[in-house]
Structure formats: structure tokens, C-alpha cells
Structure 1
Amino acid sequence: MKLLTSTYLRSTAIVGALAFALAGVFSNAAVAHADEAAADAADAAGEDIVVTGSIVSAQKDSIEAKRIADNLSDVAAADAVGRFPDQNAAAALSRLPAVAVQRDQGQERYIQVRGAPNRWTSVSIDGIPIVGVDEGGDTRAFRFDAIPAVLLSQMTVNKSLTSNLQADAVVATIDLKTYSPIEQNGLHVNGDVGYGFMDLGDGEQRQGSLRLSWSNDTFGFVLGGSHYRRKQLTDNREVGAYDASGPTEFDVRQYQIERWNNGLFGGVEYSPVEGQRIYAKAIFSEFNDDERRNQYEFRLDRATSGTRSLASGNLAGVPLRGSFNYGEYRNRNYIGTIGGDYEGDDGFDASFKLNYARTENSTFLPLVQASTSGAGNLNLSYDNSDPRFPIVTINGPFNQASLGNAGAYVLLGRQETISESYTAKLDVAKRMGDLTLSAGGLYIDRDISGNNLSISNMVMLASGAAVGQPFDINSYVTDKAWDTGFPLGVQLNYVDNIGMRRDIDSLLGRLEAAGRYDPALDVPATDRYFQREKTLAGYAMAKIESGALTAVGGVRVEKYTLGNDGSVLTGAVYTPLSRHTSKTDFFPSLNLKYSATDNLVLRLAGQRSVSRPAYGAIRVGASINDTNSPGTIGGGNPFLKPEYTWGVDASIEYYLPGNGMISVAGFSRWVDDVLYQSQIPVGSDFYDFGGVDRSNYLLSGTYNGDKGKLYGVELNVLKQFDFLPGALDGFGYQGNLTLLDGDFDMPTQKNVSFQGMSDTIANASLFYEKYGVSARVSYQWRSDWLDTLGGMGSGESRKGYENLDVSLRYALTENFTLFADLSNLTDETYVAYQGTTATPTEVEQIGSRYLFGVRFSY
């Protein structure tokens, strides 16, 4: 019934929204005739009439920016009211060629360009490199769900590098350009207010943004903010593992999630004369996620008797484990920049930037667990003919509130990583006719302190009785049944996660006061790391324009220094260790652009670049076991080397008359020392303290493999159908197709797929814009890939999925526009699997999303 209801609601919302758009078209028919008459009169008077709108103008800006660029790049430009139609930057970028997104709970988070691991794409904001510290520093990839799109005016995906761009970018570096108030004279107010709902669970969705800017010929300022919040349910089914008899457990989960993003930004600019400007900008953004977990595991492999197979089973004495938490995820960014630009009449240009950036990422997961035992265990049968949705039947009475209180405990998962950096950047150029010489420097001083997610401190909840606060895990079961779209066969009720968390916090406080709980043990010293990296870079570059040919070549020199401190645990003794490394590298690049005709542009580029290991992966902290044979070490790998690459890009771009483009691009990357996870001998004396030779101990962590290669072809088409008659010339199309291949070698295995690489990525948008109506239907699809988030070498893959979105805009007046954003209309089910889709390891669904509101612009 729930699935039928969801389908009905979704269909009704789509039909209603489309009817709204069509009504707008027909209701403006009379106005259209009047407009056409006015246009005829204007033509007779010799005036130029330009019919444009948010989609068309953004597409035009993107095409022009790509055309004049010296390197191979793709550009996403903001729409006419000063922001992107997407909620965050990742969603907007995903519409560009060869760009895919990694989603978390359905929300766009990481960007993958050309199917490569997300660590191979770097990010800068207004030209200043920014790194991420997500997941305990296990990735340097930048989180796009923390940056609201309203802050930005343009996003550029640089697929080939010039020497003035950071070299830490194997496949691309993305520059996010913030809004400049001095580009528009006068007072401008832009914003939106929206409200909607989530299909699964009917949770609310709301957003609002406001941007105020003013400028005259010499001074301008901008202030703005944004807010987005949604409450959603996530249905989740997982299988712990498969053995020779079939699934070992059915892990049934539902998450009640409340997520919200906030952004604040401001800037002032002063331009005393044309070509001279100084400015200051500040950005604060945050991503917050409060997550209530309701989870039950039918532990099939621990049954006392019965039969079990992949397709079905009949078992007795199956333990049921419950896991519950009210977890908190936080990500915050504080960015401040001051700078200046100078453009001289004598051809000399200069710019400088001073930047401070702080990124904080934290997680707190107090996970309460308990299991049934003895007579409380279950007799059950299951039907797994559709392995995505196993149906469990309880043979006999079932009491959800029968978990064992005596064995209940709380695991305290904590993670916090902070990156704090100071950056100085200087660029100068001298134009001398057809020759432009450029040079510049960059200095970054960054401190990183944190820990990977630590789940090592376990507190038995039965000890609460000793401090006058006994804990009964079963008392939190409510009488409200799960609101789920997944079949199960067993009715489960929600647990009061908020009440449980409140009592857990109170109990831990009492246990700490009584000396029964030590919060210092939540994060062992072996999980902590303290690092300081310094980058000193300089470049020299020349640009030559000779007729139809433009050549840009140069070399970038970077000295990278890393101080790496941590502690190693042997037995019960902690030993502090440090490793300091420094290396100077050269990164040449060459970009050739040949304008064969006014509309045909050919490009060829080559470069060398680098990708440095994540902070958590390279940490010194580790635990040593001297009693195993051979001994073992678990932790970071401070011996990791960066991944270095040589790359080649080529493209053919044909710019269609009017507003359109067709392009074909190819690329190849050859990568040395590809990162992967394994357990192999240390091969170093770094851990040889206390008179013990540990060079042959097995270290579990991240390693450098051998060579890898990644290559592909991108096809891109953008065109407004302005050749069609009458009302039909408002239609247009934007689409791209990317075909990819590649692999790398490990010492023990050849031709291993890159994590996160889909061999096919497709985007298609059909839009209509005329008579005040702006409508777009967008389709995205990517094929299966080896899951990056599942961990390197995990063998877990993700099934490809499609995504269908509809965006509708209707201009009531010049200043007010109604909008409707309908997302995930295919109601995708996201599937991870082991080996083949016949053995899924995770199945997840969040439902469609609907948001309606109004935009205003003055």
C-alpha cells in the first residue's frame, strides 16, 4: 500500500506541476502575440531584440567561457537571478560532461570527474586551494554539500592544467568563483523561499536564501545567507556477508534524518579607477546531520538448528540484535580572503590574495546495542528469492521488546578533524603584443589535527544501577510502526532515539563522576594524528598568440614538506614517533588552441600532476602486536608516496550559430604509485624501537601499487532550437556522454578497477524557455562501479542508477518567479553488491523530493 501511495503521490505531483507549466504557456498566449507585435515594431525601428532567460543566458555564458579559455575546461554559470537552480554546488556540477556525483542518503556530496577516485579532483575557491578532512581525514576530497550554490557565480572544471593552477589534480581542478558585487551597478536584492516534502515519510523540505548587493563605479558590497533543511526517512537493507550456505544475517535498518545547511557570506570591493581593485570576502558554511538509527539484525549464521541457503531458509534459535543511536555529523568551513587586482595600461597585470581557511569535521555516534538470548531467540523462515528484499516470517510469538538488558552496552564512536591553513598567492603578467609572460608564487601553511573514527570504548549499561540510574533498553520501544516502502514480513516499531540519547548522556555523566567511565578512552592515542604541511610553489608561463594558434606553456615548481607526529601502542606502552619528509617537484604543462574557423576550435594539452595521500591514511599512529607470528601493525602508513601522473587531452569544439556547441574530447592519464589497501610487510626500520626488529611485520593500511592508466572519450551537445518556428524555438537540449576505461596493478593482482569509475556516464536535459516559462527535464545515468566509500580492495560494487529531475519556473512579473523542483522522480533504489547483483550487500531508498516556492529579484 505504501508503494502504491508513493507512486500515486509522485504521479499527481508531476502531472500537477506540468499542468502548471502548460497553463503558464497558454495563459501567456495573448501576451506572446503582443510581444511579437512589439518585436515587429522594434525591428522596423532598427532595434535589436534579444530573447533570453535564466537557462539560455547561463548556457550562453558557459559556452563563451569555454570558448575563450586557454585550457580544456567546462563551465557552469549561474542563472539570471544570480544563483544555480540546484541546492548545492555538486548538483550543479553534475550536469557537466564527465562529471558524476557520490551521494550520501541521496544528497550530493563528492564530485568524481572522468570516473576517477574523488581524491584525484582538487578544489579551489576564488583560486585558493581548499582541502577536505571528511571521514576522519581518510579523504582529502572536498565536500560540496557544505557549500550552498547561492554563494557562487561560476564553477569551472579545469580538465587540463596551466602552470598557474595547483598541480595537485590528476584529472581536474575545480574553481568555485564567488559573487562579485562590483560587476552590477546599483542595488540588487535576490533570493528565494521554498517549501516542500519528501515522498518517503512525508518529511518537510524547506529552503531560503537572500543576497543583497550594492555598488557604484568605485565601491560595492554584498551580504547574503542561505538555509536548507530536510527531514527524511531512509530505508536500508544490508547483508553482513555471504558464506557457502547463503546470507549470514539480514540487517534491517531505517534512518530518521534531519539535515540542514547554513551559509553566510559577505564582501566589499573598492575600485578607485578602472583596472584596479581591492577586496575582502568572508564565507561561513556548515552541514549538519542528526541521524536516528533503528536497526535490527537477524543473525542467521548463529541459529541453533535448521537449514539456510541463498534462496530460502528455516531456522531455530536465531539471535536478534538491536542497534540504536542518535548520532551527530557536523562539517563547518570558515574562509576569509583579502586581495587586489591591477591591470595597467602598459600591459602589466598583477593580483595578490591572502587567505585563512578552517575546516572542522566531527562525528559523535553513541551506538546502543543489545541482543536476545536463550528463549528470547527467534524461530523463523525466510524467502530470499528477491535478494534485495528478503521476507522474514516469525514462527511463533514475536516480541520486539525482548532484548537482553544485562548485555546491553553503548559504543562511543567519536571523530574530529580540524584543518587550519594560511595561504598567500601572487600572480603577475606582462602583455607584449602577441606574447604574454606570467609568473607567480603560492605559499600554504596548513596544520591538521584529528583522529579517524574511533569506536573502542564500550560501556556496559547494566552498571547504571550502581549509580541510581538503571537502564532498560526495551522501555524505549514505541507503539508507532515503521513508515517503510520496503517489504519485510515482520512489523517493527520505532524506538524513542531522542529519549534514549538523553538518558545515555545523563548516565554517562553519572558513571564518569563515579569513576566508572573515562571519556579520555573514547579516542585512543593511536588514532590521533598531528600534521603540518607546507607548500611553496612558483611558476613561469608564456602565452603566444599567432594568428589562429594560441600556445600556453610553462613549468610549476613545488616544494612540499610534511611533519607527521603520532603515537604507537605496544602492549600497554605508548611510544611517540615522528616522520618528516620534504620533496621538490617540477610540473610542466602545455596547452595548444587552434581556431581553424570562426566556429571550430581544436585543442591539445599535456601535463604532469600529483595527488597526495589523505591525512588519516598517512598518519603515524598505530597499534603493534608483538605476540602474533609474524607480528602485526594496524594504523596509518607514513611511508606512502604521492601518486604522480602524466596526462594528455585533446578536443574538437564546434560552436553552432546562435547559442549552441558540439564537442568531442579524449584524454589519457598514466599514474604511478596508485594507492590501495592491503596487508604486507613494513619493509622499514621505522618501528624498530625497544630492541625489536619489526621490519617484517604485516602492516594493515594503505599502500602504493604499481602503474595505472585511465582514459576516455567525452561527447557534449548544447543547442537552443532557435531554428524552429513560432513558440517551438523556445525548446533546447543539453546532453553529454562519457565513455571510460582504466585499471591499475598491485603487487599481487593486475588490472584492478579504479574505485568510483563508471564506464559510462550520461546527462541529458530538454528545456523550454519562452513567454515567461522556464522548464527543464534532466536525466542522469551512470553504470556500475567499484565503491570508493566501501573502502579500497573491499570488493564491493555499486549498481548503476538513473536520476530524473524536473525544474519549472514561471515569471509572474519581472521581479517574481514561481518555481517547482521535483527531484529523483525515478524513486531510485541504490544497490551495493558483492560479486554480482544476485548477492547484494546493501539496498537503500530515500524516495522522491518536491519543493515549491518563489524567487524574487530587484
Structure 2
Amino acid sequence: MKKTIFKYLMWIFAAVISTAAAGIPAYAQTAGNIRGKVIDEQGGALPGASVKIKGTNKGVSTSTTGDFQLNDLKPGNYTVTVFYMGFSPLESNVELKAGQTLVHNIRLVSSSVALKGVTVSGVMEGQQKALNQQRNADNIKQVISADLMGRFPDLNVAESLQRLPGVTIGREQGEGSTVQLRGTPGGYTNININGEQIMGTQEQGQRNAQLDLVPANVLASMEVIKTLTPDLDGDAIAGVINLKTPTAISLKPQLSVDLGGGYNKLRDKSNGIGNISFGRRYGATDDLPNGRLGITVSGSYYKTINGYDEINAQAWQKKDFTGNKDSIYFPTDIRLVYLENERTRMGATTTIDYNFSPTTSIVANLTFNSLDNDATRYRKRTRMQTANTTLNNGVYTTSRGRGYNELLDRQMANSSVNVSLEGETLLGKAKLDGGLFYTKSQFNQQAYAYNYITGNVPMTISEISGDYIQATGATDPKNNAALYTYNTIEANNFNTEGTNFVARLNLTLPYKLGENDAYFKMGAKMKRMHNQRFRPVNSTFVANYAGTAAAGNLNNFKGDEEVSADFLDGHIPFGLGVSRQGTIDFYRNNPKLFNTSTNLTQVSIDSYFYDATEDIVAGYLMNRIQFNKFMLLGGLRVERTVVDYDAKIVNQDINGILTSSVPVNSKYNYTKFLPNLQGKYDLTKNTVMRGAVSFGYSRPNFNDLMPSRVVSILAETVTDGNPDLKPASATNYDLSIEQYLSNLGILSIGGFYKSINKFQYNSMVKLNGTEFPDASAYKGYQYFKSYNGDNAEVYGVELNAQTNLTFLPGILKGISLYANYTYTHSKADAQLRKDLRLPGQADHTANGSVSYTLKGFTLQGNLNYNGAYTSTLGANDETDVIRAARYQLDVNASYRITKGLTIYAEGVNLTNKPQVEYFGNRSRIFTNTFYDFSARAGLKYRY
């Protein structure tokens, strides 16, 4: 199979090179090119500028570094026109000689009409760069420049992205972590750096990378691409988030430094941040006036002590307590969680580019990001088995309750390394570009859970509705240390690793279709994605305490009498904690009092393992034609995937004893044909209409695909993989109208419709004992498995408005508004249920921001809203897990002391909104998590 793939790849590459060779006739010896850079008055690059040859349809947009290249021009005199919102249009005359590559740099002057009397702040500069790139793109996308990212108090990439239309985020440790687009699951969005995918390394095998790993400060810009063109990977139904690293743009050295410190309210601890970047170009010549060599280096460091308070009840069982068949759901396991975490994020990127000639260049990039979390978690559990619980006079009572008091000592290290080497050159009038890319992601956890447990104790619950339900009792099972004895120690250590190696080659051949400029593009790509998860054999174990009850009694290991009196924002106290050091030292000093369970250890290791390899070969053909004001782009992409997965099926008996651990392998392949058609029409100079019909697919998460089984006797859960899962396929329709305003703003409306076949979803049901062989041993357990649904439809509307109120009188000119709203609706058929809402789809998402700038001072308030959505499907509506709607209020302010020096302050989550999930009905709490607010202040220096 691999030989077949290799031959297929070589055939495509040969076709590309042959086409390039055919495109170099004698005419190529006389054709010339014009290239250069568009810059502002200070020498800064202007990305997204429209550069055209006057009187023709030939035109390009400048890159993120402000560079442009107009190829395949006959000798003669030309007028080059440049348009960039916020700057005065410019025309310049040039003379091109036969075979010449003319270097023509263009400096634009800020417009004095639209922004008269207004200081163009960093806020406006960010808008300006982003909107110009968006305006001149062929497809539908949003762009966030580095300046625009700095407008908000966002520390990582996920939090920056949440400000855009159609984006919802998941949170980890109080920060944005994962991203979903347009109401689809997170795995339907590819996360790229410099155009190639980062491998996800989340514990549950999700493909989408966690973006709290990447600091926003080391990037030049981010793109949210919502309609894919044929030259982009097709396995992204929702779209692509592309993170772009900076490249040196000026012969003058450019330096920026940020230093700040702050405070986290929840744990009453400090935080600190530092960012630095430097860039410069070297070796200017007559042919290369902007230098042959460019070097840029960026680094970011952030450290904080944060955490969260949480109450959760994630096991609800149905019972008829009254005997009249009025069955209700009862919470059998209620947990309080207090976590304190030291979080350290570091990021660094280095880019070196070299121009051999005006038409040949290479770019090398190395990017490293890491995120370390060192946490101490105190957790209390009260368990009341439904079968042994009765209801009398409104009070639920059991004589066989059980309490747990647990300590978790956990270190998590998440990192990614991305290396790329790209190059491009002209072969006559044909452009050849390609590159090699390698990314490696790792997520390692060392976690030791120490558990104290009671015997059977009486417990009662008087109220099972609401966000703060509690089990109590006359023996005070929550705080009575005499009830608890050292029970187990579990080393929950694991490693998850993902790599992606990519080789790609593209050929672009310009041509004329009558008087219309066009180009034909084709290319090929090979990539190998490898993802594996395992527990280290030498550091994974489950040990049971075998000493005397007196020696193991919690009275010997008592910690604080009250861990947190204002726990859960003061709603309930946490109560007694355990001594962290005393608990750990007792085990270290008395190892013979603990019996390591070889059986449970092997179950933990074998059930966790998987090793997945996917080899992908892709090729595409694409054609773009500019008909005066109308652009038409169409093409076909073909992707073939060869899959090879290894895992183990682990079986236990009713007592949790390992009965078998069988290695299994799954191999298969599939080919996707992905047609694509997109159009763009300039209704006026500042009004653009876009439309697209495209086809895409998304692969299932790795963990969902593995032929494995994980059984937890304690939690009464069974989790199965499903090697029969198929990729989801989608037909996408998009339409948008964008009105760009002269005051650096935009008004836009867009609609989208996706028909998704075989979408994947996570299911949680109660086992009846017939689902698989030996399932009778787990009757009544919660059963987790992912399946393919039949069909889902997702449609929605995106509204976006940005404007600077420069038409207002006097000091009111400094007001800027930013707002967007997305409505999404879906219908899905799955699990014998009809017209479901697609898991992950929120009906409403919105952002609002108001800023005011006056003489160097800027004040801004930001509101983010994420609507409710289904996170896990149950057997019916009342057993679905729903993530509740949430809004967050942030503020930031800055004052420019000198031209290069700015002081700033910012606050995040000022209203301390929790993240809530519920079980089918809002009265049945699933999780309720508080993070509280944080604040920072510091200095920024730009040179």
C-alpha cells in the first residue's frame, strides 16, 4: 500500500514539474515581473494591500509582510495602483525591460479625510491590517493581526479567537482552551501553524489542538478560514484556524518589550507576564533594497497561580421513590473540588528568510510552545446508592452512604515544536513553491491520587435540585475525620504524543483568457500523522492500604479544618482537608503497608493504550479567473487516507479482575473527492459579495476510533472505542456581503448551510446487559461510546459590525464600536432520535466592545457571550448533558506616555461567571465551576 501511495505521489509531482516545464517557452525569455513591498510612513508593512496594473485585471494582495509580486508582464511602461483602507490611494509609473524582475517598493500616506482629527491608535491599526487582508481574500475568512490581538486582554490564542463571529470556546483552568466554529464539534476545525496542522494531544484523543498552549504574543496574525479553497486540506468541515508567525519586514531594527504583573482573586495569588520580540533585515542591494536576509525572534513567558472551585454530580439514576410510578433522577455521587494550580506558559519563535534573487527565496521557522500545570486538588465525595435510598417527608435517606476525602498531586506538561522550511522561485512565468513541515506535540501527566474512605454511614439529602446540592448526616460525613481510613493510591500517569510530517509542492501558472487575467494552480502533498497514548509501565500502579485502621485513620493526616470558607463564591464551605505532605510522606515512609494490585495496574495500562498512524496523499487542480469585478475560483481536491490503528480490548469480571487483554489491529483506507467553487464580486469599491459551494470531511477523534474498552468498577462506567466510525462528510454553502467603511470599519452579513453525513457524536446510556458479550456483568453501568449519526443540517447567520465614530464632534471622535452576533441552528438524526441539536452547537454567540481613545489614553470594555449547547448525548432529552450559556465581561485601559512607551491595566471575568453543565434539566446540576476574576498591569515598549 505504501508503495502505491509513493507511486501516486510521484506521478502528481511529475505532472506538476512537466506542466512547469511546458510553461517556459521562448516567450518566457522576454516576460518580466514587478515585485516589491508596500509600507507605511514609518516603514511598517501593510498586509492585504490591493496592488494592480492600471487598465487590466491583473492584481494581487500583499502578504503579511507587505510583499507583492506581479508576474508574466510584457516589456513596457505600466502604472501600478495601490489601494489600502485608511491610506490615500497611490499610482506610480514604472518601465519594465525584457526578462527583468523590477523591484518597486511603495510607501503610502495615511488618509487625512476619513480620520481627520483622530489619532490612529493601536486599536485602529489592528483593525486596518485585519480588514484589508479580509477585503482582498478570495475566500470567506476573518483575520486578527497582532495589533488587533493586543486590543483585548487575551493571553492565549483561544481567547483571542472568541472575539470573532461564529467562534465558541471551551475553558481549562479558567482560560480559553479549545475552539469550535459555526456550531460544529471541535474536531471539525483544523488548527494550523504556517499552513500545516498541529497534532492534538488531549487525553481523550481529540484531534483539535488545545490553544491555551500558544501565547498570542508570539504570532503576527491569525486567520479563521471558513470556506476552504482546493489548495487547503479538505479534512475540516468547519474551517481552518491558521496561526502565522512573524517575519522581519524592515531594515531598521524593530524591538518590542512587554512587562506586567497582576493578581488572581480566587486563590489570592499573583501573576506575571513578559514578552519580547526583535526583527531586522540585512544586506540591502540594488536588486533587493529591502535586504537579502531577515531575522525575527519572539518570546513570551507567563506564570500564575490560579485554580477553580467546583461542585459536580455526574451520576444520576432514575427511581420510583413513591410507588406511583412517578420516577425521578437521583444524584448518586456528589463531589466538591478545590484546585490550586501553578500555570507556566512559554512560547518562542524564530524565523529566518533569505532572498537569493528577486524571484527566489526561502523561509525557515522554528516555533516552540509549552504549558505546565502543577496542581494540588482536594476533592470530597458523598455516594448514596439509589437502590438503598428512600424518600420520607421530602428527605432522601440511606444507611449505606459512603464518603471519600481525596488528595491529588498532579503535574501536566504540554508542549509543541514546529519546524518548517519553505521556498519559492519562478520558472519563466510559472511560480513553483513548496515546503517541508514537521510538528511534534506532547502531553505528559504525572498524577498521584491519595484516597481516604469511610465505611457505610447514614446520609441524607433534603434537596436534589439546584446548583449546590449536598449530602449530610448525623455523623457529619463531610468533616468527621474519625470516619475515614487510608484506602488507595493511584498513579494516573500517561503520555500522549502526536507528530505530523508534511511535504508539499505547488505550481502556479498565469495566463490570459481573452482580456481577463487568470492562473492555473496544481499541487501535491504527502503527510503522515502519528498519534499514540500510553501509561509508563514503571510509574503506573494502583495500591491498596493494608495497614491497621488506627494507623491509617484520617485523624493522623488532618489538614486545614476549613480548606475554603468562601468556596463556590461563598455558597457553601468546603470543610476539612487532608494534610498534603503528611499523606504523601506516610506512603513514602511505609511502602510495605500498601499492596500494589498487579491486576488493576495492568488493567490501567492496557486499557489506556493506542497507537494510530494515518498516511495521506493529496493532489488538487485549481483555476482562478478575474472578470473585471468578478472573480471565479474552482477546482478539485483528492485525498486518500490509509489508516493503521493498534489498541487492546480489556475485559474484567464483576469483581474487577482482569480476564483478558487482547491486542487488536484495525486497517482500512478511503478516498475523498472534494469539488470546490467560489466567487467574489465587487459591487462597489468598498462593497464585496462572496459565495461558495464546497465539500469537506472530518476524521473521528483517535480515542473514539480505537478498538479498546475501559471499565471503571468504582465509577460504574464502561467506555468503548468504535473502529467502525466513519469520517463525517459535508456539503457547504456560504454567502456573504461586506461593506467596508471609510473610517476603518465594516458591516457584514453572512449565511451558511452545512449538510453533514455520518457526523460523530458521543453517547452516554445505561447498560441493559445485552450491548456486547459479557455486558451483563456491568448491567446498570453508564456506557460511553461514539457513533456515526445519520445526517445533520447546520445553518446560520453571522452579523459583524466595526466602526470608529469619527463623524462625531470634538472628543467624541475617539469612540469605537465592535460587535458581532451569530445565530446557528441544527437538526440531526442519531441514536433512534430525530431532529436533535448537533452536539457542540450553540444557538447564539455574540461579542460586544466599546473603546474610547483621547490623546494617547484608551479605555475599552468587552463582553463575550456563548450560548448553551449539548456536550454529550444521552438516550433521550432528559439524559443529555448541556453546557449552559455563559457571558464574560473584561476591561482594559492604556496610556501612551511617549511615542514608544505605554502603560496598561486589564481585568478579566470581572463578574465571576461560573461555567455550568446540567443533566437534561437545568435543575439537575452536572458541573458548576468558578474561576473568579484576574487583573494585570504593566508597561509596553515599542522601538
> Fold conserved (TM > 0.5)?
yes
* Amino acid across the alignment from 1:352: G
Structure 1 pair 653–286 and aligned structure 2 pair: CA distance change class (3 A): same
> Matches of residues 751-790 of structure 1 in structure 2 within 5 Å?
751-787=835-871
Query: Is 2:728 aligned against 1:640?
Result: no
Q: Is the 8 A contact 1:761 1:781 kept in 2?
A: yes
> Structure 2 CA distance, aligned partners of 1:459 and 1:292?
20
Q: Shift of the alpha carbon at 1:71?
A: 0.3
Residue of structure 2 aligned with 1:820, choices 893, 901, 905: 905
Displacement after TM superposition at 1:381 (Å)? 6.3
Distance 1:830 1:418 in 2: 29
Tell me, yes or no, if structure 1 residue 157 matches structure 2 residue 157: no
Partner residue, 1:333: 416
CA distance in 2, matches of 1:767, 1:278: 41
User: What's the counterpart of residue 542 of structure 2?
Assistant: 458
1:4 counterpart residue number: none
Q: Report SS of the residue matched to 1:525.
A: helix
Residue equivalent to 2:316: 241
**For residue 54 of structure 2, what is the aligned residue in structure 1?**
none
Q: Is the contact made by 1:646 and 1:669 (CA closer than 8 Å) also made in structure 2?
A: yes
Q: Which among 214, 221, 231 is matched to residue 147 of structure 1?
A: 214
Q: Is the 8 A contact 1:136 1:453 kept in 2?
A: no
- Specify the alignment match of 1:33 in structure 2: none
SS of 1:108's partner is strand
Partners in 2 of 1:744 and 1:125 — Cα distance?
Answer: 32
CA contact (8 A) 1:722 1:730 kept: yes
Partner of 1:17: none
Match of 1:845 among 911, 925, 930: 930
Superposed displacement of residue 706, structure 1: 0.5
1:273-422 alignment, distance < 5 Å? 273-301=357-385, 307=391, 318-342=401-425, 347-373=429-455, 377=457, 382=462, 387-390=466-469, 395=474, 400=479, 402=481, 408-422=487-501
For residue 584 of structure 1, give the secondary structure of its aligned residue in structure 2: strand
Of stretches 314-323 and 710-719 in structure 1, the one that deviates more from structure 2 is 314-323
Residue type of the alignment partner of 1:846: Y
How far apart are the structure 2 equivalents of 1:443 and 1:59?
A: 36
Match of 1:606 among 672, 676, 693: 693
SS of the residue corresponding to residue 468 of structure 2 reads coil
CA distance in 1, matches of 2:467, 2:815: 40
Q: 5 Å matches for 1:665-684?
A: 665-678=750-763
Please list the CA deviations of residues 200-221 of structure 1 after superposition, one character each: whole Å capped at 9, or x if unmatched.
Answer: 2212222111112222211121
Q: How many residue pairs align between the two structures?
A: 782
Say if 1:77 and 1:153, in contact at 8 Å, map to a contact too.
yes
Match of 2:255 in 1: 189
Q: Distance in 2 between matches of 1:624 and 1:105?
A: 27
Q: 2-side partners of 1:171 and 1:338: how far apart?
A: 28
1:241 CA displacement? 2.2
Describe the shift of the 1:663–1:82 C-alpha distance in structure 2 as closer, same or farther (beyond 3 A): closer
Q: Is the contact between residue 84 and residue 149 of structure 1 (CA under 8 Å) also seen in structure 2?
A: no
Matched, 1:587 2:683: no
1:175 to 233, 242, 255: 242
Partner of 2:123, secondary structure, is: helix
Tell me: CA distance 1:50–1:238, structure 2 relative to 1, closer, same or farther (3 Å): closer
Which letter does structure 2 place at the counterpart of 1:225?
Answer: G
Q: Work out which of the residue numbers 525, 529, 535 in structure 2 matches 1:442.
A: 525
2:265 corresponds in structure 1 to 199
Given the alignment, which residue of 395, 404, 425 partners 2:504? 425
Q: Does 1:830 align with 2:830?
A: no
Q: Aligned runs of 1:707-786 on 2, under 5 Å? A: 707-786=791-870
Instruction: Provide the C-alpha distance between the structure 2 equivalents of 1:384 and 1:805, rounded to a whole number of angstroms.
Output: 34
CA 519–328 in structure 1, closer or farther in 2 if over 3 Å, else same: farther
- CA offset at residue 180 of structure 1? 0.7
Q: Equivalent residue of 2:217, what SS?
A: helix
The aligned counterpart of 1:32 is: none
Structure 2 residue identity aligned to 1:549: F
Match of 2:734 in 1: 649
Counterpart position of 2:646: 565
Seen in structure 2, the aligned counterparts of structure 1 residues 480 and 136 have a Cα distance that, compared at 3 Å, is same
CA distance in 2: counterparts of 1:836 and 1:520, whole angstroms: 38
Q: Mapping of 1:212-227 within 5 angstroms?
A: 212-216=278-282, 217-227=291-301
Tell me whether 456-465 or 194-203 shows the greater mean CA deviation. 456-465
> What amino acid does structure 1 have at the position aligned with 2:940?
R
Contact 1:743 1:754 in 2 (8 A): yes
Q: Which one of the candidate residues 558, 561, 565 is aligned to 1:477? A: 558
- In the aligned structure 2, how far is the partner of 1:647 from the partner of 1:356? 30
3-state SS in 1 of match to 2:200: coil
Q: CA deviation at 1:774?
A: 2.5
Q: Taking structure 1 as reference, are residues 836 and 83 closer, same or farther at Cα in structure 2, changes over 3 Å only?
A: closer
Q: Tell me the equivalent position of 1:521.
A: 602
Q: Is the 8 A contact 2:872 2:880 kept in 1?
A: no
Tell me which amino acid in the other structure corresponds to 2:850: L
SS in 2 for 1:257: strand
Bigger relative contact order (CA 8 A; separation at least 6) = 1
Q: Partner of 2:81 in structure 1? A: none
Secondary structure of the 1:112 match is strand
For the residues of structure 1 that align with 2:578 and 2:164, how far apart are their CA atoms?
43
**Cα distance in 2 for residues equivalent to 1:382 and 1:494:** 24
Please tell me whether residue 68 in structure 1 is matched to residue 143 in structure 2.
Answer: no
Question: Quick check: 1:271–1:278 contact (8 Å CA) kept in 2?
Answer: yes
Distance 1:56 1:742 in 2: 36
Q: Distance in 1 between matches of 2:574 and 2:601?
A: 40
TM-score normalised according to structure 1 size: 0.84
Once the two structures are TM-superposed, the CA of residue 700 in structure 1 deviates from its matched residue by 6.2
- Tell me the distance in 1 between the aligned counterparts of 2:303 and 2:273: 6
Distance apart, 1:501 and its partner CA: 4.1
Q: 1:478 and 1:303 mapped to 2: Cα distance?
A: 34
Distance 1:792 1:661, change over 3 A: farther
Q: Give the partner amino acid of 2:898.
A: T
C-alpha distance in 1 between matches for 2:278 and 2:733: 43
2:831 and 2:875 in contact (8 A); partners too? no
Residue 838 of structure 1 aligns with an amino acid whose one-letter code is S
Q: Tell me, in whole angstroms, the C-alpha distance in 2 between the residues paired with 1:505 and 1:172.
A: 50
Q: 1:305 to 1:60 in 2, by over 3 A?
A: closer
Cα deviation per residue 1:734-786 (whole Å; 9 max; x = unaligned)?
11010110021125111222222110001111112331122221111122111
Structure 1 residues 247-290: Cα deviation after superposition (integer angstroms, max 9, x where no partner): 43432221112222111222211123334321211111111222
Percent identity at matched positions? 24
| Offset of residue 830 of structure 1 | 1.9
Q: Cα offset for 1:173?
A: 0.8
SS of 1:443's equivalent in the other structure is: strand
Q: Tell me how far 1:600 sits from its aligned partner.
A: 1.3
CA–CA distance in structure 2, aligned partners of residues 727 and 752 of structure 1: 51
Cα contact 2:676–2:695 (8 A) shared by 1: yes
Aligned-pair Cα RMSD in Å: 3.5
The alpha carbon displacement at 1:414 in A equals: 3.1
List gaps (5 residues or longer) in structure 1.
Answer: 1-41, 626-631, 681-686, 689-697
After superposition, what is the alpha-carbon deviation per residue over 1:201-247, rounded to whole angstroms, capped at 9, x for unaligned? 21222211111222221112122221112212411112242544544
Q: Distance in 2 between matches of 1:430 and 1:348?
A: 5
Q: Partner letter of residue 145 of structure 1?
A: D
Task: Check whether the contact 2:613–2:645 (CA below 8 A) recurs between aligned residues.
Answer: yes
User: Distance between the aligned counterparts of 1:431 and 1:95, measured in 2?
Assistant: 38
Q: Matches of 2:126 and 2:870 in 1, distance apart?
A: 34
Mapping of 1:112-151 within 5 angstroms?
112-137=180-205, 139-151=206-218
